[in-house]
Structure formats: C-alpha cells, structure tokens
C-alpha cells in the first residue's frame, strides 16, 4: 500500500441502500478530489409496489454518476447473492463492463443471472476469503466470511492509503449457522489488530431490535417438534435463498418420516447453486411434484416459495387451488418460517385467509419460534462496534430512521458517525466523517425491458390512469376548420353511467358536439387551443356526471384536400 | 312477543363484515321462509387501496339482496359511529329509506353525514339504552352500552319469537374507559337471566390476541410521563374517533404545562359531536392553529389526525413540511398513540422516515405503553361466552382466519358455532346454526360520485392501465376503404423509447402504416377486424420494443362522401 499523498482523499458515496432497505450500491473512491479511482460495492434491486411503481419490474439505483466516470471505475464487488445486493447486475453491468468479484456461491448465482441476460459469464471472478486480496487501483480488497441468511455472505476489508475500511455487508452474529461459516470474533479482532479500522460501514437493518439475535440453529428443535406433531400434509415456506433454513426444514420433515418436495423455481435454483458451489452438503433427498403425488398426505412435506404472499409463487398458488396437482385440505398445516416484510402484510393475509377457507391450519412466526432474522440486532451492533473500535461508523442498509438510530448508537459509544443517505458523498480522510458533496441520487425502473428514470413521469402517468381513468376524444376537422361529423369518445376505467343513469360516453359526446358547433374559427384552427378546450369540456362533464377528472387524450385529425 | 308459529324461522345474513374487517352490514330476518321481516344492523364502509381498488373512494357491501326485498325491511340499527359501521349510510340510505335507530352520539354523527349528503337528518332516531325498546316488525331491539374505542358503542339485544339474540357490536371489557360507559358484567348477566340467549353474534377482531385486553385508563400515567419528559414540541396522533384517547392525551399535555391544539377536521368534528351528544365533559381547553403559533415549542402539544400515514391528514402534512404554519424540528417528538392497521405499514413508515429526516424523535407503540386496542381479546371473548352462555356463537367482524379461530374457541367451550361469511344465510331457529342458503355477496365502490360494482370491470381496467400503460391508435378510412393519411399513436404511461433508443410512438406509427398499406379490402372494410389487427400490431411492436403489452384503444373514423 503506497503512502497517502498530500491532497488525496478517501470518499464514500452510497447510490442506493442508504435511506431505504433495498437496491444497495455503494461507491468508494481514493485519490485527488475529482480524480479518485473508484470501486463499487454491490448492485442490487428493490421491489416495486402498486402504490408507487405499478407495472414496474424492478427498481435499481441510478448509476449515472458512475457511468459518467467509467474511466475511473476499477471494479465491482458483490458481498452476497441476495437480490438487493446482486439483482441489478444483469441489467446494469453492460453499462459498466468492469470485472466483478465475489465468493464462489455468489459468483455462481451471478453467472446464472448474466447468462440469462445474454451476457458473458466470465465477467465474474471468484475470490477466496481473506487473505486472498484483490487489488483494484489504490484499493486492496478482501472478502471476510460473515453469517447471514444466505451462504457465503461477506464483509469486505478495503485497504486504502488513507486507512482500512470494513464494509460489513449484511451480517448477523451466528456462531452456528447450519450452512456456511459461523461468525467469528477472532477473525475481526485480527483484522482490527493488523491495521486499525478507520471506518466501519455497517448494516443497520435491525438497529431497533433490542435483544441479541438468535442463531439459525435454535430453530431445529422447535421446527422438528412442530412438524412431528402434525397429522396432515405439511407445507412450509421461507425465503428461497435461506439455504440453511431449507436444510433445517427438510431435516425436520425427514425426521418425522416425511418425503420432502421443493416447489418453486427460485428455491430449487438456490439449492442447486449451493451444492454446485460446495457450500451445501447432505441436503435431504427430495422428490419431484409428480412423485410427491404418490405419497400419502401424512408422509409428505412441501417446502415452497412465496413467504411474502407473492401472487405467482407456490404458496399463493396452493392457497388458490391445485398447484402441479398438489392441493391443501382441511387438517393440513401451512407454516410461515419467515417474517412478513413491511408492505407485504396484505398479500400475506390474503394467502392466510385463503388457506383458512380450506380449513388448513396456519402456523406463523408470532411467537418467534420458527424464524430468526439474518441481521445483527442492536446489542450485536454494539458488540461489533466494540470489537473493531473504528474511528467512525457510517450506517448503511437502512431507512432514514435506521441510519439515524445507528448514528446515535455509535455516538453513545463515543464513536464518530454520520447519516449519509443516497447521494451524500462523505469524506472519510480526516478524523471525522464530513459531507463532501451531494449528488443527485435517483432510481431507475426496469419496466418491461426498458429502463426509465423514476422521475421521468412514465410511471406517474400510470398512477394517474389508475386513479382517474382515461378518456380518448377524437375529432376530425376539414380544411375549412369545420368538424367533420361529431367528436367521439372512448373511455377506459370509468363508470359507464353518470347521474340519472345517463350513459357517460354519450353525454360527453353530446356536450363535445355542442362545444365544437359553437366554437369559433380561431379555436378550431389552433390544435393546442382546441385540445385544451375539449379537455376542459371532458373534465367538467365527468366531474358533474361521476365526480372524477380523468386523464384525457385528444386526437385532432385535420383533413387536407389533396 | 308473540309465540313462534310453525314453519317460521329466524335467519342471519351478513352482507359485509364477515370474512373481512370493514363494511359491516348484517341482516336478521324472522317469519315464514322467503317472507321473513328484516332488519339491518350497521351499514359501514371499507377503505380502498392501490393494489385492489385504485382511485376508489369507499367500498361498501352490495345491498341488492335488501333492495330487492324493501317491502320486508323494517328498520336499520347502527351500533356505533365508526366508519366501518356507519360510513355507508349517507351513500346507500336513499336506496333503503327506512328509519335508522342509534344512540345519541352515533345519531349525531349520522345526522351530520346525512346532511352533508343532502339527505334529511330526521331519518335517524335517537334511542336510549335498554330498557328502551324499538319494535320493528317481529323484532324488539334494545341498545346495551359496551366499552369500545369510540363513545356510546352498543351491543344489541334482539328479541324474536324464536329467541333472544345478542349482537355484540364492537366491544372490549373496559371497566374504566375514561369516556363513556364501562363494560358491566352485571348488565349482561341480567340480560341472560331475563331470557336465555339463543345466539351471540360476536366481534372476532382480536381472537388471536392471547392476553386480556387493557383498559384505556392504563395509558394515562405512561402518556403523562412521556410527554412531561419531552423538551421540544410534542405532536401526538391517534384515531380521531377515540375521544377518550384525545382526552387522555390532552390532559397529559396540560399536566405538563402545554397548550393543546387539535389539528385535522375529523378530530375536531368528533370532539364537537361528543360534546354535543353530552358524552364528553371537561375536555381540556385547546387553541386554534393560529394561536398555537404564538406558543413556544416546549409549551405546545398538537393532537393530530393521520395515525395511518394518510397522505392528506395532518401527520403526513407535518412530515412533509409546514402545515397551517406549524412545523416540526430537530428535538421535537412525534408520538403514535395508535397501531398500524395491516396494509398501512408503508404509508406509516413514509411518515416516520420523513420525520427522521427532520431530526424528530419518534415514539411508537412498540412496547404497548401508549396504545390499547378497542376490541375484546381472546380471554375476554371466552369471558363473554361464559357470561352469556348462548346456545350458539356466530363470529362476525373478522377475516376468515378470525372467524375460524373464534368458532374453534366457542367449540372448545362446548358451544355450537358456525363460520358464516358474507352471503351465508344461517338458520338460527334450531338448536344448531345451519346454512340455509348462499347468496351472492358483492362489494360496491363509491368511485367519485358513482356507485360501481366491484366486478363491473371498471376498476379492473384501471389496474390494467396502471400495470400496462395505454396506447391510442387513430386511423381514418375513406369511403373506398383506403386509409386517409397514416395511423397515429398517442401513448400514456409507457417508456418513450424502445430498443436502440428508437422513439416508441414513431416505431408504432411506422409499423401500423406498413400494416394498413398492405391490408386487404376485407380487413379495411370491417371495423372489428381492423381494430383487432391494429391492436395485434401494437402489442407485438411494444413487446419487441419495451417488453410490455399495453392497453390499446383503436379509433377508426370512416369518412363518407356527403
């Protein structure tokens, strides 16, 4: 590591993940101001919802700041294979075209994704855990195994001339995580002893959870007891990427003499990838859905996708009826070995009530017996602060309220800290973190196959359509500025009849015809004026008739004599 | 009460509220099958959401079954003034035009609502608590005070020739509810002694809450301590109709030397109505927002609407910035003296994070210290079952999962029970409840000022617009079946550019022009065929260009020679 030259600085710039949970994308830079060499850590997605992003497929950080500085970008590092950390890679990598570094399991998932997107698999390079080191410009980066709810999650040790950074990634303090490496205090003590930690960039997800986090291994007995006690078919759902949980569930099922069947593409992929990457051994034998049909209900256990009530996942399909020939019945048991992510309550309850209608017993995580979180809780964060003794803590992976609380926690321990939300460039060079600059940090939507900016108005138009409905007005004007025939109207998403049962489209057409007939030459000759006037008529009439102001498109066709 | 005649029966038919929480509407009937005289208990609304009912104003039970039998409907009874029990009255009463009975506070609110809807206030008749009795055909109905989270909630004692029914309404076992009457075991013991209870129709909301419910009065001390400990301005939100909570909050504020100001129309209305109805006395003096501006922050407390993060309520306005000149700042405290209703998490968190950005301290109900529920918990329900010893319990006011659990609870106590969801007509005449018939139980949307059936497709069209966007294609065809000019295209809610940055509308217009040019006479002459063909071209091109299939409206104008 070369010494630091005068004037050089170390910067941190979250483009996503700081101020929300999702679409993680963190930039580090080192060098002279404006000429820093850059690396990117993680490139994830967030998930759309009907309220704010209807019809959108995925949400990603706007990486324009990076693509404007491509010559300065050295490499991309992916901490683990959760969608909010790796999901944008197949959609944005082509704009970056830099080497991607990840551990074996993460690399396996990443390559599958690149391949599906028609990109070259070899963009991703597999890195072994520390001491293996990747040099990327002025950065030396090591992957440090941490426990989380997916195999091979990693913290990064990022060495720079200005000091050592630990980027925590997503982690929990699990000393017995079933699959993958345990959390190891000694590993981090050694890192801090080797070189003092200048800054800890730290997961904030569970800063509001007051009790120490629980180990994945604590679930084995309760799950085994629960499943052994059931009479009918047992169906369990959890996050597909929680391979350890899948294993615990499958083993509990086997111990109860049940045949195991995995349902849901994501889940089968994850198990395959984990086996391929060598992180999963001894996953219990499982059968295909066709073979599962031959097994008696009391000897069958399905492990399925859809813990968040996703409409097309296996859970929701089973709630609605048969899925691949399999069907739940009175006396069967459905287990949520998962928590409901805020915002998904309604979808999850839909599934629960549909199962209730079938007489299926629902077991959820109310008592905390059948699920543990993958993130470090408040006392765990305090423990890590003490373990690493960094000069500063910069909270990440959290909504604003999480970042704020995490800053308080660090300050209470006497550690400097700062709230740095997306777009806040922080100078880490000195003793205290300081805001260097604020850049525009936006979001990009994957909408079908197109990328659109969240502020481009495309999705806002769709929201307006959903709230207000749509009216198309067509009018043909001849070369003399006279309407040819009467205007006509098509409506979509509007009540068909207004006051007194009048047909809405007919009422509109009548009033528009009256308007056009009475309109002066000046209005009829001017497309903009005519359009504005017709829109006004439509809004006025619909307001009177149905109390709504729809979105209006006016098509004016001018015929010229040829 | 006349004796029961052979062949007569007592029926129960929930039209809303059984299988969901919201839009309560329960029908009782007595008489010969198909000729029963009817009463309606409650006529409430449910609230729309962007997922399932975008742009909708309110959701109500479909009362067609009743309007088809208006000659048999005797009266309407409203148990209390929560929106999910009274909210549909102003929108549907004109279809029923029957006398409405309610206690004083409920009647006050009801009359305000009718008046705003331009209906006669005198449709609502004020009834005193039992022993006052309303006779409605074969029914004799008494209002029995119960504690809940709004003043003057009532259970109904419904006497019929076939026996006595207790319709619980919404209730909790609060012996010290601050405002309004306490729950009184003796009152219900007397009712059961007077005449055995044939059926208890019972609130199921909190059947999954394992501990006994807590009294409203338990909040006074924690709230007073909390507010006294704050330095800056204190803003508290709760449900506007929880007048007892408003009083407790205001008193806690006064005790801490703070001037009280109420923000939000609903809240001020509720306090006024409660004072007018005589159920609220001694509400602490409060000032207008203008006067509040003159008070120093540390001596000010606002009590505001918007506990569910509603966009236009006072809480959300304060989270976004100034509201009526008032603004929250670093060091102020915002208190949620409320719980988040499932489905509202995202909106509430938006408000929380916006306050976090301002440096406002958020106190929520995580520890259960600052809010209590208004519904009877599981042990409370068991208590009421034992108290009334009904022949049967019919759970209401719950999603399917609640009804199912409540049936189990009753069965465990040796009481007959049945899951009766909306549209399930239950015969209560015999010893066991039995399904008599299943009718179509739908929902009606208030959409602007129009009423549309939930299955009419209007809102489904809007959801499709939100997901897929919209394309209008216009083409003019002359009398020879030739296109006049080229087709043109307007898009809404679609990415403006497709693959390779091509303009989407231009690409569409080009391909449509090619199609029209090559189209045979047969297609050009047939509106249906031409429309279908043009839609197909649009969907194919948009799929290629942006990976989406929009909603398409095709306008074909045929010019005739005149």
Enumerate residues 223 to 242 of chain B having a beta carbon within 8 A of any beta carbon in chain A: none
Q: Do A55 and B469 touch (CB under 8 A)?
A: yes
Is the pLDDT score of A461 beyond 70?
yes
d(CA B395, CA A196): 64
Residue B283 DSSP symbol:
P
Cα gap A520→A217, rounded to integer Å? 80
Q: With left for phi above 0 and alpha for psi between -120 and 50, is residue A516 left, alpha or beta?
A: alpha
- C-alpha distance from residue A109 to each of A22, A25, A72, A270, A318 (Å): 18, 18, 27, 8, 27
Query: How many other β-carbons are positioned within 10 Å of the β-carbon of residue A562?
Result: 6
Listed by number, the residues of chain A in 400-459 with a beta carbon closer than 8 Å to a beta carbon of chain B are 400-401, 404, 447-452, 456, 458-459
What distance in Å separates the CA atoms of residue B48 and residue B29, rounded to the nearest whole number?
30
Identify the band that residue A309 occupies on the pLDDT scale cut at 50, 70 and 90.
very high
pLDDT at B500: 85
pLDDT for position B11: 98
Q: Residue A561: its pLDDT value, please?
A: 55
Distance CA A338, CA B369 (A): 27
> CA A474 to CA B556: how far, in whole Å?
10
Q: For residues A361 and A330, give the distance between their C-alpha atoms in angstroms, rounded to a whole number.
A: 8
pLDDT at res. B187? 97
Residue of chain A whose alpha carbon sits nearest to that of B356: A401
Sign of the CA dihedral B52, B56, B60, B66?
negative
Q: DSSP for B191-259?
A: HHHHS-EEEEEEE-TBTT--SPP--GGGGHHHHHHHHHT--S-EEEE--TT-HHHHHHHHHHHHHTTPE
Instruction: Say yes or no to pLDDT of A366 above 90.
Output: no
Beta bridge mates, B398: B18, B20
* Tokens standing for residue A25: 């994308």
Q: Which of B400, B464, B493 minimises the CB distance to A461?
A: B493
Backbone angles phi, psi at B117, to 5 degrees: -90, 5
pLDDT of A437 reads 97
User: How much is the pLDDT for A285?
Assistant: 93
Structural domains in chain B plus CATH codes: 9-211+373-450 (3.60.15.10), 216-363 (3.40.50.10710), 469-558 (3.10.20.580)
Instruction: Find, in chain A, the residue whose alpha carbon is nearest to that of B49.
Output: A51
Find residues 8-27 of chain A whose CB sits inside 8 Å of chain B: 19
Given this model, what pLDDT does residue B561 score? 55
Query: Is B196 part of the contact surface with chain A (CB cutoff 8 Å)?
Result: no
Inspect the interface and report whether the beta carbons of B490 and A548 lie closer than 8 Å.
Answer: no
Q: Point out which residues pair with B300 in neighbouring strands.
A: B259
How does B228-256 read in b/e, with b if 16+ C-beta sit within 10 Å?
eebebbbbbbbbbbbbbbbbbbbbbbbeb
With an 8 Å Cβ cutoff, is A472 touching chain B?
yes
CA B105, chain centre distance (Å): 19
Q: What's the rounded mean pLDDT across residues A85-113?
A: 97
Are A552 and A538 contacting, i.e. CB atoms less than 8 angstroms apart? Answer: yes
Element (H, E) at A261: strand A259-263
- CB B267 within 8 Å of CB B231: no
DSSP code per residue over B406-418: HHHHHHHTT-EE-
- Rounded Cα–Cα distance for residues B271 and B350 (Å): 28
Determine the Cα–Cα distance for residues B237 and B252; give it in Å rounded to an integer.
14
Residue A559 to chain B, least CA–CA distance (Å):
8
Task: Tell me if A548 and B55 make a contact (CB, 8 A cut-off).
Answer: yes
Distance CA B444, CA B422 (A): 14
Q: Is the pTM of this model over 0.90?
A: yes
- Kindly state the tokens that stand for A536: 């006004």
Residues in B closer than 8 angstroms to A458, CB to CB, are: 469, 493-496
How confident is the model over B355-388, as pLDDT tens digits? 999 999 999 988 789 999 999 999 999 999 999 9
For chain B, say whether A503 makes contact (Cβ under 8 Å): no
Q: Which residue has the tokens 């009280």?
A: B260
| Backbone dihedral angles phi then psi of residue B188, each to the nearest 5 degrees | -80, -30
CA atoms of B269 and B309, how far apart (whole Å):
20
Residue A518 burial (CB count, 10 A):
8
Kindly give the pairing relationship between strand A18-19 and strand A124-126.
unpaired
**DSSP H helix total and E strand total for chain A:** 17, 30
Q: Is A257 within 8 Å of chain B by CB?
A: no
Distance (Å, whole) CA A461 – CA B148: 43
Mean pLDDT of chain A: 96
Is A555 in Cβ contact with B490 (below 8 Å)? yes
**B462 closest CB neighbour out of A469, A488, A497:** A469
Q: In degrees rounded to 5, what are phi and psi of residue A153? A: -65, 150
Residues 25-64 of A with CB under 8 A from B: 49-51, 54-55
Query: Distance between CA atoms of A382 and A337, rounded to whole angstroms?
Result: 27
Whole-angstrom distance, CA of residue A537 vs CA of residue A530:
11
Position of tokens 């005589």?
Answer: B278
pLDDT for A131 beyond 70: yes
Q: What pLDDT is recorded for position A553?
A: 96
Contact B316, B264 (CB under 8 A): no
B345 touches chain A (CB under 8 A): yes
Which residue stretches of chain B have pLDDT < 50?
none
Q: Give the residue carrying structure tokens 């609870």.
A: B409
- Spell out the residues 6+ positions from residue B33 whose beta carbon is closer than 8 angstroms to its own: B7, B9, B436
Give CA A25 to chain center in angstroms: 12
Residue with tokens 């030739």: B482
pLDDT at residue A562 above 80?
no
Residue-level pLDDT at B175: 96
Q: How far is the C-alpha of B63 from the C-alpha of B437, rounded, in Å?
A: 16
| Residue contact A547–B362, C-beta within 8 A | no
Separation of alpha carbons B184 and B174, rounded Å: 8
| Closest residue by Cα to residue B514 from B491, B533, B493 | B533
Angle, CA of B451, B455 and B459, to the nearest 5°: 70
DSSP code for A142:
E
The complex scores an ipTM of: 0.94
Q: How far apart are CA B28 and CA B157, in angstroms?
A: 12
């Amino acid at each position: 590591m070369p010494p630091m030259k005068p004037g050089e600085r170390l910067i941190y710039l979250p483009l996503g993940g700081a101020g929300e949970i999702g679409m993680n994308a963190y930039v580090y830079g080192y060098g002279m101001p404006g000429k820093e060499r850059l690396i990117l850590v993680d490139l994830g997605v967030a998930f759309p919802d009907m309220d704010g992003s209807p019809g959108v497929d995925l949400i990603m950080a706007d990486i324009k700041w990076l693509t404007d500085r491509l010559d300065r970008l050295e490499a991309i590092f992916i901490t683990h294979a959760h969608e909010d950390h790796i999901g944008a890679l197949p959609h944005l990598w082509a704009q970056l075209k830099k080497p991607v570094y990840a551990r074996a399991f993460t690399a396996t998932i990443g390559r599958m994704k690149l391949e599906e997107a028609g990109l070259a698999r070899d963009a991703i390079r597999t890195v072994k855990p520390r001491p293996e080191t990747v040099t990327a410009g002025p950065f030396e980066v090591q992957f440090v195994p941490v426990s989380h709810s997916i195999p091979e999650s990693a913290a990064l040790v990022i060495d720079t001339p200005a000091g050592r950074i630990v980027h925590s990634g997503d982690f929990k303090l699990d000393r017995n995580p079933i699959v993958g490496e345990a959390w190891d205090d000694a590993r981090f003590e050694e890192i801090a002893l080797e070189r003092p930690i200048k800054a800890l960039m730290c997961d904030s997800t569970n800063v509001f959870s007051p009790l120490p986090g629980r180990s994945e291994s604590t679930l084995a007995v309760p799950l085994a007891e629960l499943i052994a006690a059931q009479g009918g078919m047992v169906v369990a759902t959890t996050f597909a990427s929680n391979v350890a949980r899948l294993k615990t569930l499958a083993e509990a099922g086997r111990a109860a003499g049940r045949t195991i069947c995995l349902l849901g593409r994501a889940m089968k992929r994850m198990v395959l990838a984990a086996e391929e990457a060598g992180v999963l051994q001894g996953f219990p034998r499982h059968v295909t859905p066709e073979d599962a049909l031959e097994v008696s209900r009391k000897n069958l256990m399905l492990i399925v996708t859809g813990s968040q009530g996703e409409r097309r996942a296996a859970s929701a399909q089973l709630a609605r009826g048969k899925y691949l020939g399999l069907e739940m019945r009175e006396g069967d048991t459905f287990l949520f070995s998962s928590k409901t992510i805020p915002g998904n309550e309604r979808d999850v309850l839909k599934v629960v009530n549909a199962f209730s209608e079938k007489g299926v017993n629902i077991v959820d995580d109310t008592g905390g017996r059948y699920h543990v979180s993958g993130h470090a809780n408040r006392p765990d964060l305090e423990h890590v602060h003490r373990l690493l003794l960094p000069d500063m803590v910069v909270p990440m992976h959290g909504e604003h309220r999480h970042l704020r609380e995490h800053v308080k926690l660090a300050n209470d321990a006497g550690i400097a800290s700062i709230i740095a939300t997306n777009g806040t460039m922080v100078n880490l060079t000195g003793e205290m973190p300081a805001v260097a600059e604020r850049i525009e940090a936006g979001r990009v939507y994957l909408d079908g196959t197109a990328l659109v900016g969240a502020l481009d108005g495309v999705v806002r138009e769709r929201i307006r359509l959903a709230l207000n409905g749509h009216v198309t007005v067509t009018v043909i004007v001849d070369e003399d500025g006279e309407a040819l025939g009467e205007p006509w109207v098509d409506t979509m998403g509007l009540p068909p009849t207004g006051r007194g049962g009048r047909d809405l489209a007919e009422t509109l057409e009548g009033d528009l015809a009256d308007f056009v007939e009475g309109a002066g030459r000046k209005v009829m000759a001017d497309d903009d004026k005519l359009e504005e006037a017709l829109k006004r008529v439509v809004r006025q009439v619909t307001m009177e008739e149905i109390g709504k102001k729809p979105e209006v498109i006016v098509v004016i066709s001018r015929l010229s004599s040829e």
